[in-house]
């Protein structure tokens, strides 16, 4: 029996800074972002990024947090005992067994975006697994206001996973495929992922090619989050974090509709939450020491 292809499955990753000797560092801190779809563990040595892992969240949040931390430290010789302070964030933040404190993902994404994109960022769009947030922040990455989408999976990573499976397109190819259309099709329903899926099924049956259907969905998602952004008001510079930031089809459409270019990330913007948490942990460790 053939194994079913899981088109929604994105590539898990890990990284360690090759030129950093953590043993020479004074303060090692970590942030663990347990989201509904993915978990990131980020390790910071003296305020500088040292290592990270990004993997799927399983059904057991404490175990996901532990696995992500183990994978981030794999081969480095570092153990949890070497980490002075850990901040848990994300949907499952209360389930990080080794966290010293929890901080909400909105605060962490703003702080992480400040690190990734620089202090000029004033508006952050975090497109996560099950919700998206429009965040306004200051030059230090401190949140000044925020808005979240309502009770619906449309415009989220989970919604995109559903579509990747429906269309049998690997999730990492969805964005570029959606940009291959000669003409932008009308968007599908942007109010509900279930309705969007039903509509897409109808379009496929009507003979639409995959790229056109996926373009219609990316367009709907982009429009939905643009509405959220317009409610909070977009102030430059503008940056996108979360897993959907990697979907070029959605990012380009958001930029077009907003008339604002999003900053290019220097590293994986899906790490923003965990990275922000690790940086908060660094500040808290410093405060505790003083």
Partner 1 sequence: MAETTDVMRWQTKPLECWRLAKEIREQYYRNYAQAREKGGLRWVGGAWSFGAIPCGLGDDVYGLTSEPYGATIAFNKDLALECQEAAEKYGFARDLCSYMRNYWGSVLLNKYAWGGPFPKPDFVWQDHICCSHAKWYQVVSELEGGIPYFCIDVAVGPYHERTDSRVEYMVGQMHDGIQWLEKITGRRYDDEKLIEAVKNEIRCTSLWAEICTLNKAVPAPLDEKSMYSLYVHLVLNRYTPEVVSFYQTLRDEVKDRVANQIAACPTERCRLMTDTQPPWAFLKIFRYMESYGAVSIGSLYTYGLMGIYDDQPDGSWGAKVTPMERGVAIKTRDQALRAYAEWTLAKPLWQHFYNPALKSRMMARLAREWQVNGVLLHYNRGCEGLSIGIAENRLALLKEGFPVMPFEGNMGDEREFDDTRVMSRIDTFMETLGLRKLY
Per CB under 8 A, residues contacting partner 1 are 91, 103-104, 106-107, 131, 143-148, 150-151, 231
Omega of the bond prior to 267 within 30 degrees of 0, cis?
A: no
- Least distance (Å) between residue 52 CB and partner 1: 23
Rounded to an integer, what distance in angstroms lies between the CA atom of residue 64 and that of residue 55? 8
- Least distance (Å) between residue 57 CB and partner 1: 15
Count of Cβ atoms closer than 10 Å to residue 72 Cβ: 25
**Residues pairing with 132 in the sheet:** 127
Rounded to an integer, what distance in angstroms lies between the CA atom of residue 289 and that of residue 139? 25
Compare residues 9 and 223 and give the one whose CB is closer to partner 1. 223
Compare residues 147 and 286 and give the one whose CB is closer to partner 1. 147
- Residue 24 vs residues 1, 19, 20, 48: alpha-carbon distances, Å: 53, 12, 8, 13
Distance between start and end Cα atoms, the chain? 62
- Least distance (Å) between residue 256 CB and partner 1: 25
- Least distance (Å) between residue 93 CB and partner 1: 9
Compare residues 135 and 278 and give the one whose CB is closer to partner 1. 135
- Least distance (Å) between residue 150 CB and partner 1: 5
Compare residues 92 and 187 and give the one whose CB is closer to partner 1. 92
Compare residues 151 and 205 and give the one whose CB is closer to partner 1. 151
């Amino acid at each position: 029996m053939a194994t079913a292809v899981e088109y929604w499955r994105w590539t898990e990753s890990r990284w360690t800074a090759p030129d950093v000797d953590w043993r020479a560092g004074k303060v090692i801190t970590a942030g663990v972002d347990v989201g509904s779809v993915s978990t990131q563990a980020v390790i910071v040595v003296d305020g500088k990024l040292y290592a990270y892992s990004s993997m799927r969240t399983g059904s057991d949040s404490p175990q996901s947090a532990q696995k992500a931390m183990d994978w981030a430290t794999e081969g480095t010789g570092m153990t949890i005992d070497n980490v002075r302070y850990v901040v848990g964030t994300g949907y499952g933040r209360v389930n990080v067994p080794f966290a010293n404190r929890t901080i909400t993902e909105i605060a962490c994404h703003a702080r992480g975006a400040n690190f990734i994109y620089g202090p000029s960022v004033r508006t952050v769009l975090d497109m996560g697994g099950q919700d998206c947030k429009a965040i306004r922040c200051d030059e230090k990455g401190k949140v000044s206001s925020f808005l979240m989408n309502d009770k619906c999976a449309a415009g989220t990573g989970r919604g995109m996973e559903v579509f990747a499976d429906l269309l049998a397109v690997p999730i990492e190819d969805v964005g570029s495929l959606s940009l291959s259309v000669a003409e932008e099709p009308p968007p599908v329903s942007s109010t509900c992922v279930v309705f969007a899926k039903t509509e897409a099924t109808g379009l496929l049956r009507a003979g639409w090619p995959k790229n056109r259907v996926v373009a219609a969905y990316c367009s709907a998602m982009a429009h939905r989050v643009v509405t959220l952004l317009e409610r909070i008001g977009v102030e430059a510079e503008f940056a996108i974090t979360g897993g959907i930031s990697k979907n070029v089809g959605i990012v380009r459409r958001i930029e077009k509709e907003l008339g604002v270019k999003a900053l290019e990330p220097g590293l994986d913007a899906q790490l923003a939450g965990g990275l922000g948490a690790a940086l908060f942990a660094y500040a808290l460790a410093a405060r505790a020491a003083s």
